[in-house]
Structure 1
Amino acid sequence: MTVSEPTSRAPRPRGSSLAGKAYWAMVRRVTLIAGAIDVGYIVLFAGLGASTLAWINGVSVLLYAAAYALIGRKKNTLALLLIWFEVMAHAALGSLLIGWDSGFHYFLLLFVPAIVVANSRGLAPAIVLGLLAYYLGLKAVCDAVGPLTPLSPAGLRTVFWVHVCLVFAMSASIAAFYRRAILSAERRLVEQAQTDGLTGLCNRLGFQTQAALTLARQPDAGGSAAVLLGDVDHFKQVNDRYGHAAGDQVLIHVARILQSHARQGDVLARWGGEEFLLLMPGCSPEQAEQAAERIRQAVVASRVAVDELELPLSLSLGVACLGPGESLQSAISRADAALYDSKRAGRNRVSRAWPAALPA
């Protein structure tokens, strides 16, 4: 069905919250990958005879394992400090020991997108400039000191190409992760924009979007389509006498009843205030009127618990079927007129407004 399960009102996640969750999920993932890479480095540098670098990578594995565990415990700041320390120290030691041409410094560049995304308290520009100063300073020191424990030319080329491939792969992985996070956040925002925050049903925008898609498939499905517009009777009195919290419970309760009577493929929405709108594709006039009557009877038979009271409810409905070539808005307008007929006739009833082309 097009409709989601009605829920009570809950705060919607803010954009900053979504970005924060995506950022820390990315950091934890990169931490795991980096630790696995350092395990491979232990083997690589041991094979190249660079035992000092092999031991350094062993320490790096332990640091990444600690950072991974800290993020899992929500100790994000300490974890981030460990990661910064590891990457900056590792880049410096590797570059000093076997030379700038080894490419250890490339890993410092992976910090830049993470810094910009995190943008903690607007400090991203200052942190990026600090990282640039460290990068350029390390280059100057390496030029002045030279490699302390140089590798053979073949070994140095091997390390360089390994670093280039790893940095490209990690950059692509980080970019792909952020793309998925952005698309996911965009889908959530679209859903929120089209969902009523109280009942969890479609709002007007959501209804119009889903209804347009449903009716676009209608010629292939065959049959007519009907709209049911319902209004909770004496709703203002519930709000005035029992408070808006009780009114909210009434709306959620009625939304659940409507959803239980909607079919797969129907489009159900909170149309505004205490009004609900149901589009039923492939539904004859008789079926639509019968469905409306079943909904009305279900609402009357139910009760809403408010404090120690059980409030009786009733629902007035207007039903209209789309005539040949008629727009959905025109049918909704006729259903609205039929709804007011039900109100004027004493409420708690179903009225219909068929177009001239349909049987009365």
Structure 2
Amino acid sequence: MLHKILNIGTAKGHRHSVRMTNLFIVLGLPLLTVNVVIQGLEHQISALEFWLVNGLMMLAFCATILLNYLGHNELAKAWILVMFVIDIGIASTRWFGIESLMFFHLIVVYPVAFLLWQDKPLLRRSIIFFITVVFFSLFYWPGEPMFPSDIQHKHSTMAMVFINCAILLSIIAKLFSNDTLRAHQELAKKASVDPLTNILNRRELERQLDIQQQELASIAVMLFDIDNFKAINDHYGHLVGDKALKHLVACISQQLPSNTLFARFGGDEFCILWPNCQRQVAQQYAQQLVESVASRQLTLPQGTFTISISMGLAYETQRKDLSRLLIDADDAMYAAKRCGRNRLICHWSMPSPASSQ
């Protein structure tokens, strides 16, 4: 539920900024509600005025999410900041007076401004300057005492205000840290995963293989692509071509052994790396994949399609040189195409040039 609220409006861009704005609403509304209840119990305030103003403040806070939903994130950020300053600097201070020290909660605005406008230092400095002016204007309000006259009351009030501020800052820091970590994880995933098929890209496959390099006793490389894929794109369009790629990935993914690495190299070319397997087992598995893909039809509004693949298999127990293995598998894949497509050719049993004519 929380994740869905934070993502409101992120589809329109500025994802991190929008999430941070929504985050402050998720944090601010419960705190505002608790504050309203406590204030209503402890202070003699006109019920109509008190609940009317605080009700309007809650609606104003919720309006921020609406602005994000409509794609107006810059306006949403400015709105929430102004509402927060009004709530602390005017509404609370009006009821409880300067000596209540409620305006000290304005110090929370400093990290809020920093987090919302990280990419705009000039604007951020202007906002911080404005908040500072508001803070000192309240602090030096003419004719009003700055602190409670009673020493014990003064100490308890000061402690309560600064403890509240510390709690708020801690919560903001924790939530910001969690959101930043999640954002970094999403970026890392985007950098390693092919966006169309949701499997590894070539760079991530090579990175993971490099990590496992020292533990490899053998490796099988299966390189394949869709037969006549260009004709599918040219005749039916790229949308059908994309669905064909997804269909192929779904067929293959259901049959992958647990320790394999499956990646899209680009276009309609794919690669499966199978570390520490036996050559005969890899050959049987590769043949099974070729036959399985050809046996499963893809049904679309444009028609029913039978997709086949040509696969080349290379295997190594000593060298474990991925670049060399990829060349060997690529040669075997093109040999499979020359031999009629929809088949597997192993590098160690490739047909001779004479027999492939």
Which category describes the TM-score, using the shorter chain as reference length? Answer: 0.7 to 0.9
Is 1:315 the counterpart of 2:324? The answer is no
Q: Read off the aligned partner of 2:165 and give its amino acid letter.
A: V
Relative to structure 1, is the Cα distance of residues 157 and 70 closer, same or farther in structure 2, using a 3 angstrom cutoff? same
SS in 2 for 1:146: coil
Q: Read off the aligned partner of 1:255 and give its amino acid letter.
A: V
Displacement, 1:75? Answer: 7.9
Equivalent residue, structure 2, for 1:152:
150
Is 1:87 the counterpart of 2:88? The answer is yes
5+ residue gaps, structure 2, are 1-9, 70-75, 350-357
- On the 8 A contact 2:227/2:307 being kept in 1, the answer is yes
After superposition, give the CA deviation of every residue in 1:222-276 in whole Å (9 maximum; x if it has no partner). x532121111111111111111112111111111111111122221111111111
Q: Read off the aligned partner of 2:222 and give its amino acid letter.
A: L
- On the 8 A contact 1:204/1:271 being kept in 2, the answer is yes
Q: Read off the aligned partner of 1:89 and give its amino acid letter.
A: I
Q: Read off the aligned partner of 2:283 and give its amino acid letter.
A: E
- On the 8 A contact 2:140/2:146 being kept in 1, the answer is no
Relative to structure 1, is the Cα distance of residues 55 and 96 closer, same or farther in structure 2, using a 3 angstrom cutoff? farther
For the residues of structure 2 that align with 1:56 and 1:124, how far apart are their CA atoms?
34
Relative to structure 1, is the Cα distance of residues 311 and 197 closer, same or farther in structure 2, using a 3 angstrom cutoff? same
Displacement, 1:282? Answer: 2.9
TM-score if structure 1 supplies the norm length? Answer: 0.79
Equivalent residue, structure 1, for 2:273:
279
Equivalent residue, structure 1, for 2:354:
none
For the residues of structure 2 that align with 1:308 and 1:292, how far apart are their CA atoms?
30
Query: What is the 5 A alignment of 1:223-242?
Result: 224-242=218-236
After superposition, give the CA deviation of every residue in 1:287-319 in whole Å (9 maximum; x if it has no partner). 111111111111111222343321222100011
Displacement, 1:148? Answer: 8.9
- On the 8 A contact 1:41/1:54 being kept in 2, the answer is no
Equivalent residue, structure 2, for 1:350:
344
Relative to structure 1, is the Cα distance of residues 56 and 132 closer, same or farther in structure 2, using a 3 angstrom cutoff? farther
Is 1:190 the counterpart of 2:188? The answer is yes
- On the 8 A contact 1:228/1:279 being kept in 2, the answer is yes
- On the 8 A contact 2:88/2:102 being kept in 1, the answer is no
Identity %: 22
TM-score if structure 2 supplies the norm length? Answer: 0.80
Q: Which moved more, 1:322-331 or 1:190-199?
A: 322-331
- On the 8 A contact 2:315/2:325 being kept in 1, the answer is yes
Is 1:166 the counterpart of 2:164? The answer is yes
- On the 8 A contact 1:202/1:268 being kept in 2, the answer is yes
Q: Which moved more, 1:340-349 or 1:25-34?
A: 25-34
Displacement, 1:346? Answer: 2.0
Q: Read off the aligned partner of 1:92 and give its amino acid letter.
A: T
Relative to structure 1, is the Cα distance of residues 37 and 211 closer, same or farther in structure 2, using a 3 angstrom cutoff? farther
Q: Read off the aligned partner of 2:301 and give its amino acid letter.
A: D
Q: Read off the aligned partner of 1:93 and give its amino acid letter.
A: R
Displacement, 1:19? Answer: 2.6
SS in 2 for 1:271: strand
Equivalent residue, structure 2, for 1:203:
201
- On the 8 A contact 1:195/1:201 being kept in 2, the answer is yes
Relative to structure 1, is the Cα distance of residues 115 and 149 closer, same or farther in structure 2, using a 3 angstrom cutoff? closer
- On the 8 A contact 1:202/1:270 being kept in 2, the answer is yes
For the residues of structure 1 that align with 2:40 and 2:169, how far apart are their CA atoms?
22
Equivalent residue, structure 1, for 2:136:
136
Q: CA-atom RMSD, angstroms?
A: 3.3
1:260 to 230, 238, 254: 254
Displacement, 1:161? Answer: 0.9
After superposition, give the CA deviation of every residue in 1:119-162 in whole Å (9 maximum; x if it has no partner). 39965443333222212222221xx3132994511011101011
- On the 8 A contact 1:60/1:86 being kept in 2, the answer is no
For the residues of structure 1 that align with 2:337 and 2:228, how far apart are their CA atoms?
10
Q: Read off the aligned partner of 1:283 and give its amino acid letter.
A: C
Greater RCO (Cα-Cα under 8 Å, separation 6 or more): 1
5+ residue gaps, structure 1, are 1-11, 356-360
Displacement, 1:214? Answer: 4.4
Q: Read off the aligned partner of 2:203 and give its amino acid letter.
A: L
- On the 8 A contact 2:101/2:146 being kept in 1, the answer is no
Relative to structure 1, is the Cα distance of residues 69 and 33 closer, same or farther in structure 2, using a 3 angstrom cutoff? same
Equivalent residue, structure 2, for 1:304:
298
